[in-house]
Chain A
Amino acid sequence: DTAVSQTPKYLVTQMGNDKSIKCEQNLGHDTMYWYKQDSKKFLKIMFSYNNKELIINETVPNRFSPKSPDKAHLNLHINSLELGDSAVYFCASSQNSVEQYFGPGTRLTVT
């Protein structure tokens, strides 16, 4: 059983398109996160939700909009994709901000 899953695993799209990445966790955790890993492999937090409420919103362009329909799901919608959005996006979850568990990542390529 996969603890944190993401779909799709790969996403190739053109500039200007709108796309979504989905994340689900079956660990019963109350907090979920989105991280971005850039071309230099540096990982940085984007958003965090606790029980469907936004608690962290780093300096991310407002083209990125997270949505949490319930505490087991955190989706990421990206409008008007740009070349610089190409990266690997990781979803993660934790309980009471203790150990974080990461999904397999979604590799987004914008052409």
Chain B
Amino acid sequence: ELKVEQNPLFLSMQEGKNYTIYCNYSTTSDRLYWYRQDPGKSLESLFVLLSNGAVKQEGRLMASLDTKARLSTLHITAAVHDLSATYFCIYGGSQGNLIFGKGTKLSVKP
């Protein structure tokens, strides 16, 4: 059974600090996504990672993919309050279906 495991599931950070969210998946995939969900809102695509070694950055967030280790990371640099949200790591299946991790609820405190 395909598994997508994120950790930590809850993360409380101080503003200005750095941290990394990890995502392990159990079956080889060439596609890995990171989405953000604000409370009561829908999901917003952050990154699409399509190949081994892919690294993408947007503002204070940087995502990477290591297909050999079946690991993706989402690194947060100098966190700010606006980054508070739930972040989902999502595995892309061969037919376009998505398998979601449980999500990491990030809270950035002043």
A and B from one complex: no
B: residues with CB less than 8 A from A are: none
